[in-house]
Amino acid sequence: MMGLLLYCGLLISAVFLARNYLGRRTWEALLLGSILTCCEGVLMVLALGSMARLTPRAVTAAVLALTIVQGLVALFHQREELPVMGGGLRSTVVPPAFWLAAAVLAAALGVRLALAWLTPSDSWDGLSYHLPIVFRWLRQGNLSLAGWPTFHRYLAYNGELLCAWLALLDGGRLETAKLGQVAALPLMLSAGAVLGRRLAGAVWALPCGIGALAVPLVLVQAGIPYVDLVYGAAFAACAACAVVYDRTGRLEFLAAFAAAFGLALGAKSTAYLQAPLIVLPLWTLWARRDLRTQAFVAFLPLSLLVLAVGGATYLRNWLEHANPVFPFEFKAAGWTLFNGPLSPSELLVEVEQWFVSSPLEWLWYPFRERFRGAVCYGTEHGFGPLFAACWAVFPLAAWSAWKSRNRAAIFCAGLVPMTLAAFFLLQPTREPRYVLFLPVLVLAPACLALRRLRGPARSAACWSWSAGVVFSCLGGLGWLGGEKDYREAWAWARAEGEIAAPAFYKARFNSLGQAWAALNERLETGDVVAVNYSELLLPWAGMPPRAQVHVVGHQAGTLPDSLYGELPQEWMNLLDSLRVRYFGLWEPRWYPGQDAFEAGCIERFPARFKLLGRWEGGMGKTALYEIVPRP
């Protein structure tokens, strides 16, 4: 909890700095402050990690120092002509319907984050690599991922950096890292509000902001250690800064555009999705000659800012492998520009079938959001009824933007087809969560179309919008209520005041959770655990994590320095060299025979393996062994 309080203190000081020093009003000050705070967190962890000084004391001291400095600068640069903070909100006649929707959203977020805080770390990708990577950083005090078993060690990791930052601010508690995406919530809220205000007027700032934040997928992901919310919020913030720069020509918004672009670039290795964002700044400079000299002088510093905030992994891959997107090869027009051991086409492309049976169905997917045949929301999808309504009228909203001859409005509406074209042409795996910025881009032009309404039609539109926000919030919370494991967890929390991780994982992962619980009872700090499968790694380290986990294969991997033994004796010698005490053997239900080689090795050396338990269930077959030391 202390980590979140320190983060809030830094955010507040950054917002007041943007308001007082730069003279921006409420929503734009929140936007600039949110971008600055996220960039400070990323750069702080990068700098301390490069010096092997990634400790709670160092990070806390840096945050306190920044908070004090920003607060003092804001204090001594107060502008008398600006109203008090939030005065712009009070002076704007906001329909009561929107305040009601905002109150429901605040309550929904409170419930979601409270349950996330009480519940052990969850989500497939979070337990597989997001949190294990953060745990390794916290344990070793630097950012090295040498020997990591999967290709994720080479990908952009700003999301993980923010998770590690919050954990270090909380004394190094890994449990706090699961709330790393909370840092993106003010970013998403302010980006939506700024777009609504600049396109449709001050009245539509609040509804567009809460509409962006009330997306069910945003509510769900706010409490799990994914990175899609960080990417989507940074994308939306980048678009908002581009719009404000177009309207004002203020250099600080061009700098904020570069910083937000870097945040998104460093959160996911999908630069092709955000490439269309540069269209509006270029269009602005083409139309406004008075800004060209200023932008030309700032080009190099802002390019360095983008690289500093989001280019660390790309630069490292370039220096080590002459390929910024290593380990993937990169082709264009049939030419191989960068060589790599993996092709993007080798990724799990069939996940698209979980949502639609053909790519054309994405056009009407918002009206019936399905996952594996069931109509529901979840960690991978769920844009909600408000998005569906705005999606239905998006062609009309885009036409209104075009008729207005407003560069910013045309840009926002045009971003939708441009990013979707990149999504369908270049994205190897297609899930709604990868375009979590899309609701903001659809809601803002809808606000532009709705602002023309007057009288009863306007009132009906306001109440309908608020109803969409409320139902979206209920849909996000409904996912929690629809999951049997979360209902049981909530009952445990009410009865006992806490949710025990072993019991939660037993309920959620059945046979695999039973193996984790059995291991947790025996595990001591500093033990070494080996497993045969690279998914869901974190619970193998204990609850709370306290052991080192290795993935030991039986054939050479496509990545450098992978751990494997092709022959039984080589495999056994490798376990001994790693000083492995426990071995977890997992045969996933969806990959029968995954454990065949390891099971044969165990039969080959029966005296070296002591069986601690076998379990079978929906996750497949799991066995836990204690390795007897070599005589």
Contacts of residue 523, defined as CB under 8 A and 6 or more positions apart, other chains included, come to 529, 542, 546, 547, 582
List the structure tokens of 371: 């996952």
Rounded CA-CA distance 215/213 in Å is 6
Helix, coil or strand: residue 565: coil
Radius of gyration over every alpha carbon of the chain, rounded to an integer in angstroms = 25
Helix, coil or strand: residue 464: helix
Nearest to 53 by CA among 147, 137, 121: 137
Instruction: Specify the residue for token string 């297609």.
Output: 430
Low-confidence ranges of the chain (pLDDT < 70): 79-92, 333, 345-349, 480-485, 493-494, 497
Angle at 121 between CA 115 and CA 122, to 5 degrees: 90
Whether pTM exceeds 0.75: yes
> Residue 85's pLDDT is what?
53
- Measured between alpha carbons, how far apart are the two ends of the chain, in Å? 48
**CA-to-CA separations, 56 to 121, 299, 446, in angstroms, rounded:** 20, 36, 45
Alpha helices, DSSP H, located in 498-595: 501-522, 568-577
Rounded CA-CA distance 618/390 in Å is 39
> Residue 359's pLDDT is what?
86
Rounded CA-CA distance 443/440 in Å is 5
Rounded CA-CA distance 162/145 in Å is 17
Torsion of CA 336, 342, 348, 350, to 10 degrees: 40
Asked if 215 contacts 472 with a C-beta cutoff of 8 angstroms, the reply is yes
Rounded CA-CA distance 528/539 in Å is 13
> Residue 86's pLDDT is what?
52
Phi, psi (rounded to 5 degrees) for 539: -65, -20
List the structure tokens of 259: 């910083």
List the structure tokens of 321: 């492998």
Asked if 162 contacts 38 with a C-beta cutoff of 8 angstroms, the reply is yes
Phi, psi (rounded to 5 degrees) for 53: -120, 35
Domain annotation for the chain: domains and CATH numbers: 2-310+376-480 (no CATH), 316-344 (no CATH), 501-627 (3.40.50)
> Residue 206's pLDDT is what?
95
